[in-house]
Amino acid sequence: MAQEKVKASDRLVAIGGSAGSLEVLLCLLPALGQINFAILIVVHRKVSNDPILRDLLASRTKLTVKEIEEKEVPVPGTIYLVPGDYHVLLEQDKSFTLDYSEKVNYSRPSIDVVFESAANVYADKLVCILLSGANADGTEGLRHVKLHGGSTIAQLPSASDVPYMPEQAILGKVVDRIMNIEEIIDFVKNF
């Protein structure tokens, strides 16, 4: 019996964050019903095989939440979590590749790496959202997304636990929209 080929999501929402971003994710996920796109989450976190973050996110939604596996293809209605200590690249066939190259912005996974790679594949079918965090990771990735026709959003700094990361993107003039948590939720629900 032939294995049926999985159809990759034709649209992607990529969300990046660091310190303080978990609060937004824990508000966003319960608000999502059925979605016809994939969500990719990259957060700075400790190196660990501990499934605690995945389990916490999964407990807040009826959607499938899973850590990315090598050569997996993102499918609609699924939330993918970048594993700790790996960059994730998207290939032209939309499959994921786990990468252990050097840290970028002191981080692995790097939001810049994920956003740039996603922009190369999804172009104008991509939305990237940068949340709370304490370094400038994500700014160059958002610049790349804009150059490829994707949409870029930063969390409103005054609504961020650690505003430095979204502030850097705003100062870098790479953000299409600045949103508070409720606006981010509405935007993703209606993407």
Q: In this structure, which amino acid lies at residue 183?
A: E
Does 18 qualify as catalytic in the annotation? yes
Contact 191, 13 (CB under 8 A): yes
Return d(Cα 34, Cα 78) in angstroms, integer.
9
For the chain, first and last CA: distance in Å?
37
Contact 131, 28 (CB under 8 A): no
Q: In this structure, which amino acid lies at residue 42?
A: V
Domain ranges of the chain: 12-189
The encoded tokens of residue 107 equal 């981080």
Does 148 qualify as catalytic in the annotation? no
Residue 51: band (very low, low, confident or very high) from pLDDT cuts 50, 70, 90:
confident
pLDDT digits (tens, 9 = 90+) for 110-148: 999 999 999 999 999 999 999 999 999 999 999 999 999
Contact 82, 109 (CB under 8 A): yes
Contact 171, 147 (CB under 8 A): no
| CATH superfamily assigned to domain 12-189 | Methylesterase CheB, C-terminal domain (3.40.50.180)
Per-residue burial over 108-141, b = 16 or more CB atoms within 10 Å of its CB, e = otherwise: bbbbbbbbbbbbebbeeebbbbbbbbebbbbbbb
Write the burial class of residue 164 (CB in 10 Å: 0-12 exposed, 13-18 middle, 19+ buried). Answer: middle
Return d(Cα 77, Cα 135) in angstroms, integer.
30
For residue 167, the surrounding DSSP H or E stretch is helix 164-171
Indicate which residue of 18, 117, 151, 160 is catalytic.
18
Return d(Cα 35, Cα 38) in angstroms, integer.
8
pLDDT digits (tens, 9 = 90+) for 156-177: 999 999 999 999 999 999 999 9
pLDDT digits (tens, 9 = 90+) for 65-85: 999 999 999 999 999 999 999
Does the structure show a pLDDT above 50 at 2?
Answer: no
CA torsion angle for 121, 123, 184, 14 (degrees, to 10)?
10
Does 160 qualify as catalytic in the annotation? no
Indicate which residue of 21, 107, 117, 137 is catalytic.
137
Indicate which residue of 9, 21, 44, 107 is catalytic.
44
3 state SS of 178: strand
User: DSSP class of residue 27?
Assistant: H
Does the structure show a pLDDT above 80 at 41?
Answer: yes
Average pLDDT over residues 58-70: 96
